[in-house]
Amino acid sequence: MKAFLKHLRYVLTENPVTLVAGSMFLMLILLGLFGPWIVPYDPLASSPAALQPPSAQHWFGTDQLGRDVFSRVIVATRLDLTIAIVAVALSFVAGSVFGSIAGFYGGWADRIVGRVTDTIMAFPLFVLAMGIVAALGNTVENIVYATAIINFPFYARVARAEVNVRRGAGFVQAARLAGNSDLRLLATQIYPNVLPPMMVQVSLNMGWAILNAAGLSFIGLGVRPPTPEWGIMVAEGATYIVSGEWWLALFPGLALMLAVFCFNLLGDGLRDLIDPRQRT
């Protein structure tokens, strides 16, 4: 643990961009955990002060029902992060397992995984997510499943390619001659070297997952109102931009942009943190 913390400190201090992205990610996690308890107003409570511009009382203004936009933006962090983290975790686990099996054994396993990933990638991914949610119903669970399905091919392909390259490496053959089983070879020799490029993909997919959830909500297939969610808030605020109430769409859109920007910057740092070769 001490060695890991030392390496973590080295990664954060060596690359200022990683430090900034890590700080932003920590802020998002803290807002997701404690947001409902630190906001000044109930995000679902209406008031007579509708469509008020940003002020000392309402930092981000109020919406058409008099709800505090700042409180809704902060509380929405938990839902959007939860959808992204759970969906990416599901696709990461499934994609890495099936991709590793396909790359290690080849044959029918490789053909089946390849055909599944090709079928998913044949569709525009957002359109496929729309179809899945429309067929199953626009609940949070179905949004998570749809997002996980469209992200599955990225991990399966990366894992398959990386394992296929390394299964014949000298250190793997040496471990095989030492009597290690195939499962042990995958878990202890190959998979730790496959993780670094996959962690970069994780950070990118986190941003895409948040955008996907927000996009589904924007077109009415995502989370249902009045639940605070960035995509819903942007969609509701877009109708008021022409009449001058710019803050309704600006602040949730800005939160969405910063979250995606954070995850895009975080990729290199995660790679350096996980890569065994970086610990020497």
Q: Model confidence over 216-260: pLDDT tens digits?
A: 988 888 888 888 999 999 998 988 888 888 999 999 999 999 998
3-state secondary structure of 122: coil
Residues 6+ apart with CB under 8 A from 188: 175, 180
Q: Where are the domains of the chain?
A: 2-162+195-279
User: Per residue in 58-77, pLDDT tens?
Assistant: 999 999 899 999 999 999 99
User: Hey, what CATH topology would domain 2-162+195-279 get?
Assistant: MetI-like fold (1.10.3720)
Between CA 100 and CA 190 the distance in angstroms is 9
Average pLDDT over residues 16-27: 82
User: Per residue in 173-221, pLDDT tens?
Assistant: 887 878 778 788 887 788 888 887 787 788 888 888 999 989 998 888 8
CB atoms within 10 A of CB 118: 11
Q: List the structure tokens of 72.
A: 């809704």
Q: Are 213 and 232 in contact (CB under 8 A)?
A: no
Q: Are 121 and 143 in contact (CB under 8 A)?
A: no
Between CA 231 and CA 126 the distance in angstroms is 14
So what's the pLDDT on residue 5?
61
Q: List the structure tokens of 207.
A: 């941003």
Most confident of 157-161, 164-168, 241-245: 157-161
CB atoms within 10 A of CB 134: 13
Instruction: Tell me: pLDDT of 1 over 70.
Output: no
Q: List the structure tokens of 30.
A: 């803290």
